[in-house]
Structure 1
Amino acid sequence: MGPRGGISRCPCGRKLLTVCLSRSIQAAGSQLGQSKDYALPNASWSQDMLDLYNRFLDMTKDGLWKRIPSYNNILDHIPESMKLTYEKRKDTRLFLRSIDAEGAGFEYVMFLNTSEKRVVCLFQPGSYLEGHPGFAHGGSIATIIDSTIGSCAISVAGKVMTANLSIDYVNPVPLGSVVLVDSKADKVEGRKVFLSCKMQSVDGNTLHAEATALFIQLDATKAQKQQASCQ
């Protein structure tokens, strides 16, 4: 803090200041017994990732966009009323949040625009996602696309599962770079949700991948019976 209580003279600089504020939010949440939100800046985020994050965060001020929190257990993402029908296991983790080291795995944050039926993901692939030397594995690209499109489908139809995902890989994604995964729901036919997605560089000049997907809205009662039979 500066001599007058400001932050203009903070020695950390803009990037570290954003991270410091995020850690303060995490600490406050921990004191309230809340799960850690991984969709907040940490020290591994590049300046491009932080700039893009702050740009979308500014867009949430008018209420059209909303930042989606991200936890390491899938049950922390669903409404409290639905949690009563599931047993939270301590030996499971959401696949994208299974690597503890900051910056080594999937570093991402998603933003939702309900009126546009759109979810955008800011994604920075870490070193543990390597496929071809220096580039993100195609499976990690498919995972982040599936998760982004899936979040969009959930916002439209509630509980869903992937029925089909088709991806065209155009240009490889360098490890540590930042890409924008932009998904939208194109149409809904009964229980079917059809979606499309593009993965592009931050400046929009490089197309990394394109995808289309079909998600099916689940029958809640049937899904609960299937889960119970597997436990």
Structure 2
Amino acid sequence: MIRRCGRLLHKTKVRSHCPTEELRDFGLPNATWNKNLKDLYNKFLELSKNGSWKRIPSHNTIAHHLQGIGKRMFLRNLDSDGLGFEYCMFYNKDERRMVCLFQPGPYLEGPPGYAHGGCIATIIDSTAGAGAVYTCGSVMTANLNITYFKPVPLGCTLFVDSHVDKIEGRKVYSSCHIQSYDGVILHAEASALFIKANH
């Protein structure tokens, strides 16, 4: 039975939810972004002009990265703007640092009016993981430890800041914190261990 399932999966074609010719960069401002998110975006876009920071495009499929794969990206699984993960990322190679400017939409609600802790874990894993990928190449999350301090109101703007702290062989150690857009409120801190892919 397992072999039969394996053959079936091997023969099954993966269908994309978004054809590659319609590829949209979701990391660009849209009408649902609040003023604070737009202001932070413009600040980092300005910092990108001298080459120290690089804006990371954000698509809802991985079809443009890998041939024959068209699976929808988890963070970009909604077809309407503003409902889920509204974010953009910027990378600084010299600092081995990835920042994510994030606005949680109403579909991410946990306690009434606040983002679910799982979506906070997701944006931490995605930001720190992207930083590890841009620093070292392909990685997988091995461990993620999060301390939550303050709940995150839906629709607010968050600054997610991750650093690759050290690399030991295939192990990539990162740290991350989430704070309010103005740096006044610390919402969460995390440490992560990623394992570099064995090619």
Report the TM-score range of the alignment, normalised by the length of the smaller protein: 0.7 to 0.9
CA distance in 2, matches of 1:196, 1:119: 10
Aligned partner of 1:47: which letter?
A: K
1:95 to 74, 78, 87: 74
Task: Select the residue among 78, 88, 100 that pairs with 1:109.
Answer: 88
Q: Which amino acid aligns with 1:88?
A: I
Encode CA deviations 1:19-57: one digit per residue, 9 max, x unaligned. Answer: xxxxxxxxxxxxx94611000000000011101100010
Distance 2:34 2:173 in 1: 33
RMSD value, Cα: 1.3
Q: Does 1:71 align with 2:52?
A: no
Report whether the alignment pairs 1:62 with 2:50: yes
2:39 paired with 1:51: yes
Return the letter of the residue paired with 2:197.
L
Question: Any residues of structure 2 matched to 1:1-150 within 5 Å, and which?
Answer: 33=21, 35-76=23-64, 78=65, 83-84=66-67, 87-89=68-70, 92-150=71-129
Equivalent residue of 2:159, what SS? strand
The SS at the match of 2:49 is helix
Partner of 2:17: none
Return the alpha-carbon distance in structure 1 between the equivalents of residues 73 and 21 of structure 2: 19
Q: Which residue of 1 aligns with 2:7?
A: none
Residue segments in structure 1 that go unaligned for 5+ positions in a row: 1-31, 221-231
Deviations 1:82-141 (A, max 9, x none): x34xx223xx31000001111000000000000100000000000000000000000000
Aligned-partner Cα distance in 1 for 2:62–2:95: 25
Alignment TM-score, normalising by the size of structure 1 = 0.76
What is the DSSP-based 3-state SS (H/G/I as helix, E as strand, rest coil) of the residue aligned with 1:209? strand
Q: 1:154 corresponds to which residue?
A: 133
Q: In the alignment, what sits opposite 1:185?
A: 164
**AA aligned opposite 2:141:** T
CA distance in 1, matches of 2:29, 2:99: 16
Query: Scaled by the length of structure 2, what TM-score is found?
Result: 0.88
1:202 Cα deviation from its structure 2 partner? 1.0
Q: CA deviation at 1:172?
A: 0.6
What is the alpha-carbon distance in structure 2 between the residues aligned to residue 203 and residue 40 of structure 1?
Answer: 21
Where in structure 1 do 4 or more consecutive aligned residues deviate above 2 Å? none
The structure whose residues are more often helix, as a share, is 1
Task: Give the aligned length.
Answer: 180
CA separation in 1, counterparts of 2:78 and 2:21? 22
Where does 1:197-208 land on structure 2 (aligned, <5 Å)? Answer: 197-208=176-187
State the identity as a percent. Answer: 57
